[in-house]
């Protein structure tokens, strides 16, 4: 069997491993428009400022000999431009045709650049792949004042990293807080303070409409009419599923590629996984793109197993985000801001905890400062666990298995008595 994987990141890598667990013989080809082995996208801000380098193994998802070890042929530096499902081949940008029996689309997302004049000027960057990171890293010595457009995970992190390197940074965010919708107002306040302590200027509830300059950007114009003098701009508004080459292929697409519980598209020989798909969100009970690394890994594995007919279902997932800004670390998961559900929260001693509960099920949580037991809460959400008998202990800073086990013993005894 000929297996072709478009994409060389976490979903594709996990698919390769899943296939090779049971199938050592089938031909596997990995197509990627990048020239490097699979690397960690969350580490790109660290890479830009020199905190991590290409020479370090922690920058990569797998060891150097991964492809040889798993008998994978790589077509690196080649871009898939069109899929022909009826004839079962992928056309590349050099007009090469790559035949397949089973195809996995795992090409992730592409940066979303909002409409603004002047984006073609020198000094304007994105930061979603290693090519963009290389360009920004090379330009770093020239950057005196940088405007970061977008206060999401990447935008907040690169703002922090640049400020620590002595660059004057202004972060512009359309919403009233950074990390929307990853945090609520109270959680974002901690991040706001850390960024300000590092010298980052925050401009909230505003947006960039124009970049001015001759060859290089010199000034940023906001929708409010205000202007900011800057010689660099990083657009970090977010990513969208990379669907360009899927057009006219008869593969069903909404906001992302539509897949069933087996990560299979409407065409039975074609699968999809990772940031490019709409997969099931167990918290809101609907399918949507969730560009989260652990989910991409899980989807890639499920897709790989089903490519070799293992009949394994993807059980769904939910957004989980974690980052450290300055001296503050946080983890958020599921729904984090709503007035429709029961809310438990506490804020004290540099620590913030918030839990959202619906029908005695935990559906969301924010942990700021103390994130030690995040895995337990994640497990409760994933398994739709009944928390009615233990939720009163969630706000305790020392929450852990000692509470869980005691309450569980009481619950079991109560059931036996009844």
Distance from C-alpha of 13 to C-alpha of 390, rounded to nearest angstrom: 39
> What Rg, from alpha-carbon coordinates, does the chain have?
23
Residue 318 has what pLDDT? 97
β pairing state of 217-222 and 124-125 = unpaired
The mean pLDDT value for 139-161 works out to 98
Q: Residue 125 in contact with residue 232, Cβ under 8 Å?
A: yes
Chain segment 286-314, per-residue pLDDT in tens:
999 999 999 999 999 999 999 999 999 99
Please state the rounded mean pLDDT for residues 136-163: 98
Is pTM beyond 0.85? Reply is yes
Confirm if 127 and 15 have CB atoms less than 8 A apart: no
pLDDT of residue 363: 98
Query: Are the C-beta atoms of 258 and 252 separated by less than 8 Å?
Result: yes
* pLDDT tens column, 337-382: 999 999 999 998 889 999 999 999 999 999 999 898 899 999 999 9
Nearest to 179 by CA among 323, 357, 48, 344: 323
Predicted confidence at residue 404, as pLDDT, reads 72
How many contiguous H segments (helices) and E segments (strands) does the chain have?
Answer: 9, 26
* Rounded-to-integer distance, Cα 38 and Cα 66, Å: 10
Question: How high is the pLDDT of residue 409?
Answer: 57
What confidence score (pLDDT) does residue 401 get?
Answer: 75
**Token pair recorded at residue 151:** 């206060």
Q: Which residue has the tokens 């809460």?
A: 377
**3-state SS, residue 400:** coil
Residue 413 is predicted with a pLDDT of 45
Is pLDDT of 152 > 70?
yes
Location of structure tokens 């957004």: 319
Closest CA to 212 of 225, 221, 222: 221
User: What pLDDT is attached to residue 407?
Assistant: 60
Q: Is the pLDDT of residue 410 over 60?
A: no
Backbone dihedral region of 166: left (phi > 0), alpha (psi from -120 to 50 degrees) or beta? left
Selection from 50, 49, 9 nearest residue 30 by Cα = 9
pLDDT-derived band at 408, boundaries 50, 70, 90? low
pLDDT tier at 190, thresholds 50, 70, 90: very high
Q: How many CB atoms lie within 10 A of CB 266?
A: 14
On the question of pLDDT at 417 being above 60, the answer is no
Query: What mean pLDDT do residues 161-171 have?
Result: 98
Report pLDDT digits (tens) over 224-254.
999 999 999 999 998 999 999 998 899 999 9
Task: Give the separation between CA 319 and CA 338, rounded to whole angstroms.
Answer: 15
pLDDT tens, residue by residue, 28-50:
999 999 999 999 999 999 999 99
| Average per-residue pLDDT for the chain | 94
State the CB neighbour count (10 A cutoff) for residue 352: 22
pLDDT > 70? residue 416: no
- CA 170, CA 147: separation in Å to the nearest integer? 5
Stretch 184-188: mean pLDDT: 97
Residue 179 and residue 202 in contact, taking contact as beta carbons nearer than 8 Å:
no
pLDDT band at 68; cut points 50, 70, 90: very high
Domains of the chain with bracketed CATH: 2-110+241-307 (3.50.50.60), 124-237 (3.50.50.60), 327-417 (3.30.390.30)
Whether a cis peptide bond, with omega within 30° of 0, leads into 181 is yes
Q: Look at residue 42 in the predicted model and tell me its pLDDT.
A: 94
228 φ, ψ (degrees, to nearest 5):
-130, 125
């Amino acid at each position: 069997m000929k297996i072709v994987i478009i994409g060389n990141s976490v979903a594709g890598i996990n698919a390769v491993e899943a296939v090779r667990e049971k199938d050592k013989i089938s031909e596997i080809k990995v197509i990627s428009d990048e020239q490097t082995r699979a690397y960690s996208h969350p580490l790109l801000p660290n890479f830009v400022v020199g905190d991590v380098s290409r020479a370090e193994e922690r920058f990569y998802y797998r060891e150097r000999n991964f492809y040889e070890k798993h008998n994978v042929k790589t077509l690196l530096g080649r871009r898939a431009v069109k899929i022909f499902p009826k004839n079962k081949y992928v056309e590349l940008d050099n007009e090469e045709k790559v035949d397949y029996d089973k195809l996995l689309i795992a090409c992730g997302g592409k940066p979303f650049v909002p409409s603004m004049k002047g984006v073609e000027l020198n000094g304007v960057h994105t930061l979603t792949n290693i090519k963009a990171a290389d360009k920004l890293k090379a330009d770093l010595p020239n950057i005196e004042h940088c405007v970061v457009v977008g206060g999401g995970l990447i935008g907040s992190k690169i703002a922090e990293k640049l400020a620590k390197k002595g660059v004057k940074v202004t972060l512009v965010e359309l919403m009233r807080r950074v990390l929307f919708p990853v945090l609520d107002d109270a959680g974002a306040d901690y991040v706001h303070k850390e960024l300000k302590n590092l010298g980052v200027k925050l401009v909230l509830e505003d947006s960039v409409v124009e970049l001015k300059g001759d060859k290089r950007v010199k000034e940023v114009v906001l929708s409010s009419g205000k202007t900011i003098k800057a010689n660099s701009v990083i657009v970090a508004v977010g990513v969208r599923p990379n669907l360009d080459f899927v057009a006219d292929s008869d593969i069903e697409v909404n906001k992302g590629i539509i897949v069933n519980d087996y990560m299979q598209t409407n065409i039975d020989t074609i699968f999809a996984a990772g940031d490019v798909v709409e997969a099931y969100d167990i918290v809101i009970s609907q399918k949507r793109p969730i560009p989260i690394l652990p989910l991409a890994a899980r989807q890639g594995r499920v897709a790989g197993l089903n490519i070799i007919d293992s009949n394994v279902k993807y059980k769904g997932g939910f957004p989980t985000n974690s980052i450290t800004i300055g001296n503050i670390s946080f983890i958020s998961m599921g729904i984090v801001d709503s007035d429709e559900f029961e809310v438990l929260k506490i804020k004290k001693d540099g620590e913030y905890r918030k839990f959202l509960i619906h029908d005695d099920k935990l559906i969301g949580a924010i942990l700021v400062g103390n994130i030690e037991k995040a895995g337990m809460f994640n497990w409760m959400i994933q398994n739709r666990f009944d928390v009615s008998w233990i939720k009163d202990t969630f706000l305790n800073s020392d929450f852990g298995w000692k509470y869980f086990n005691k309450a569980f013993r009481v619950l079991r005894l109560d059931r036996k008595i009844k």
